[in-house]
Amino acid sequence: MTTDDVRANSATTGGPTGPVPAAVTDAAAEAAADAAVAAERVDATAWRRMHPVTPAIKAWKVFVAVLAIVGYQLLDNLDALEQVRHVWLVLVAALVAVGLVGLVYSALAWRSTRFAVTDDAVHLRSGVLFRQQRQARLDRLQAVDVVQPLLARLVGLSELKLEVAGGAGSAVSLAFLKEDDAEVLRAELLALAAGLQRPHAVRAEAEPEALPAALPRAAFADAPERAMYEVPMPRLLVATLRSGAMVGLAVLAVGAVVVSILSRDVGAAFVLVPGLFASAGFIWTRINQGASFRAALSPDGIRLRHGLTESRAQTVPPGRVQAIRLSQSPWWRARDWWRIEINVAGYGHGEDQARETVLHPVATLEEAMVAVWLVLPDLGVDSPQATLDAALHGRDQDGGFTAAPRAARWVDPIGWRRHGVLVTERALLARSGRVFRQLDVVPHERTQSLGLAQGPLQRRLGLASFVVHSTPGPVSPSVAHLDAKVAAALLDEQAARARTARAAAVPEQWMTGPSA
């Protein structure tokens, strides 16, 4: 049973999380103008093009999309097409024409696209008919990913994706570069974002397509890394087969058989086909994205590598993770497996969010604790392992948690004993869920704002839900059905902790140390 309405009472400790004011439009226009001015100051020799094979890869993607649309239309109009002479010849000619047009346009777009790297930003010029000028400031860099779609991987190319704090549309994509060049440029950008300076005294002659153009490859060597965990493929497959999507797929399959038998018409079962495809697609996505998943720790951040048909290498700089969520379905309870997701500023938008925000697709208890340690090395307690064990498996006051009162059983009779919150010197831990267990961890300095939510039944019972606002992402921390007075006191105390922690936070340029 849930609350009937929500009344928020926010205590802001960081940036706003509400509706974007109209003045943001003017700010965006000013930012675009500043980007254009900054680009004009870039040395003309610093501008570089993407790899020459880029137009062919992008044209192929357009061709496949058109082919899929044409194929779908053909299936719906086979009877009408049979009346047209030489229909297949016409279709092939049309597809070839579309492919040629796509190739020509991609070539023109490639010629008009340039990028340059300076000490403080990455500049990108693009557009055939309408020119676009973009600037990704390195001091706002959140993460750098090296992505390899299947076709690009076959020819040794990669896409470099820069996630920058600034909301939707702030990411910058450099597609496509040589695989080695993308890795070198990734290391250079992370080093610059960390506060290291480019050796301007070193000027080396380089080929126009070489990266970096005016720096020796050793100038920004890739930081060493230490492997932390790796997901075995058998575990990923078993975990996927034991997921809710697989249960749904089995139910739909049985339903299709039952409907066909009862109606004595096989066609009646086709009403369940969309659901079957959706469940199968979800299962394939989980396997495709979680394959070969491994994590490593390096001076430039947490390195995540994963993907089957599309290989992705992420580097999340330390201190950029805003919140952590550990979740467990009842089908994983026997193995004590956990899925770990994170909020990263700049990662909360777009269709790739589901794959970009996974810290571990299916972790053992030991690996889950390692994953939390990667993000928050100091949990602020004497025994982190005991605290996390109580947070993941305990209930009531286990582990020192402030739990929901007995009155909460009227609004959540099953899971009320799991609701609880623990505040340590470094973070806030929110525990919930008895059937579907969940733990959210938010470092104090990453708190955006706080709020209380209270429905009419909660008011009558003297309860309130405590809400922690984070950056966009899969983690929405909250603790439901606390005592209203406890929740109100926690609101004030946590707001003060967040302000203090934010004031004492280390600088964003982490490699330069506190004196930067």
For residue range 387-429, what is the model confidence (pLDDT) as tens digits? Answer: 999 999 999 999 999 999 999 999 999 999 999 999 999 999 9
Is 142 in contact with 346 (CB distance < 8 Å)?
Answer: yes
Pair (120, 240) in one structural domain: no
Pair (354, 465) in one structural domain: yes
164 sits in the region (left: phi over 0; alpha: psi -120 to 50; else beta) called: beta
Looking at residue 464, its amino acid is A
Beta-bridge mates of residue 11: 450
| End-to-end CA gap in the chain | 51
Query: Exposure pattern of 472-495 as b/e (b: 16+ CB <10 Å)?
Result: bbbbebbbbbbbbebbeebbeebb
Distance from chain centroid for Cα 43: 34
Pair (213, 196) in one structural domain: yes
Whether residue 291 is predicted with pLDDT greater than 60 in this model: the reply is: yes
CA angle 308, 245, 284 (to 5 degrees): 20
When pLDDT is averaged across residues 451-474 and rounded to a whole number, the result is 95
User: Largest alpha-carbon pair distance within the chain?
Assistant: 81
Pair (347, 413) in one structural domain: yes
Lowest mean pLDDT among 96-100, 115-119, 263-267, 456-460: 263-267
Pair (144, 219) in one structural domain: yes
Whether residue 2 is predicted with pLDDT greater than 50 in this model: the reply is: no
Q: How far apart are CA 186 and CA 161, in angstroms?
A: 9
H-assigned helices in 346-471: 353-356, 365-375, 384-393, 456-461
Q: Which of 228, 244, 275 delimits the end of a domain?
A: 228
Which pLDDT score, from 0 to 100, does residue 354 have?
61
Pair (104, 69) in one structural domain: yes
Beta-bridge mates of residue 137: 121
Query: Over the stretch 173-203, which tens digit does the pLDDT of each residue have?
Result: 999 999 999 999 998 888 888 777 665 533 4
- Does residue 299 lie within any of the structural domains? no
Whether residue 322 is predicted with pLDDT greater than 90 in this model: the reply is: yes
Lowest mean pLDDT among 11-25, 97-111, 310-324: 11-25
Looking at residue 504, its amino acid is A
Whether residue 333 is predicted with pLDDT greater than 70 in this model: the reply is: yes
Whether residue 54 is predicted with pLDDT greater than 70 in this model: the reply is: yes
- Does residue 442 lie within any of the structural domains? yes
Whether residue 1 is predicted with pLDDT greater than 60 in this model: the reply is: no
Whether residue 332 is predicted with pLDDT greater than 90 in this model: the reply is: yes
Pair (360, 406) in one structural domain: yes
84 confidence band (pLDDT: 50, 70, 90): low
State residue 29 phi and psi, 5-degree precision: -65, -40
For 303-320, the DSSP string reads EEEE-SSSEEEEEE-TT-
Which pLDDT score, from 0 to 100, does residue 119 have?
86
Q: How far apart are CA 55 and CA 112, in angstroms?
A: 12
Whether residue 508 is predicted with pLDDT greater than 90 in this model: the reply is: no
Helix (H, G, I), strand (E, B) or coil at 340: strand
- 355 vs 151, which has greater pLDDT? 151
Looking at residue 416, its amino acid is W
Looking at residue 52, its amino acid is P
Q: How far apart are CA 481 and CA 503, in angstroms?
A: 31
Lowest mean pLDDT among 8-12, 411-415, 497-501: 8-12
Pair (106, 58) in one structural domain: yes
40 confidence band (pLDDT: 50, 70, 90): low
- Does residue 155 lie within any of the structural domains? yes
Which pLDDT score, from 0 to 100, does residue 493 have?
96
- Does residue 304 lie within any of the structural domains? no
- Does residue 294 lie within any of the structural domains? no
Whether residue 226 is predicted with pLDDT greater than 60 in this model: the reply is: yes
Which pLDDT score, from 0 to 100, does residue 15 have?
43
Query: Over the stretch 126-170, which tens digit does the pLDDT of each residue have?
Result: 988 888 888 888 888 888 899 999 889 999 999 999 988 765 566
Q: How far apart are CA 196 and CA 188, in angstroms?
A: 9
Pair (174, 242) in one structural domain: no
Q: Which of 266, 288, 310 delimits the end of a domain?
A: 288
38 confidence band (pLDDT: 50, 70, 90): low
Pair (268, 384) in one structural domain: no
Q: Which domain holds residue 71?
A: 54-110
Pair (359, 507) in one structural domain: yes
Looking at residue 197, its amino acid is Q
CATH of the domain at 150: 2.30.29
Q: How far apart are CA 118 and CA 367, in angstroms?
A: 39
Mean pLDDT of the chain: 82
Q: How far apart are CA 196 and CA 512, in angstroms?
A: 7
Which pLDDT score, from 0 to 100, does residue 490 have?
97
Is 421 in contact with 483 (CB distance < 8 Å)?
Answer: no
Which pLDDT score, from 0 to 100, does residue 75 have?
56
Q: Which helix (H) or strand (E) holds 172?
A: strand 172-178
- Does residue 82 lie within any of the structural domains? yes
Whether residue 27 is predicted with pLDDT greater than 60 in this model: the reply is: no
- Does residue 249 lie within any of the structural domains? yes
Is 203 in contact with 214 (CB distance < 8 Å)?
Answer: yes
Count how many domains the chain has.
4
Pair (332, 345) in one structural domain: yes
Q: How far apart are CA 514 and CA 452, in angstroms?
A: 35
Query: Exposure pattern of 238-258 as b/e (b: 16+ CB <10 Å)?
Result: ebbebbebbebbeebeeebee
CB atoms inside a 10 Å sphere around CB 369: 19
When computed from its CA atoms, the radius of gyration of the chain, rounded to whole angstroms, is 26
- 265 vs 355, which has greater pLDDT? 265
Beta-bridge mates of residue 117: 122
**CA proximity to 118, closest of 188, 220, 51:** 188
Which pLDDT score, from 0 to 100, does residue 169 have?
62
- Does residue 180 lie within any of the structural domains? yes
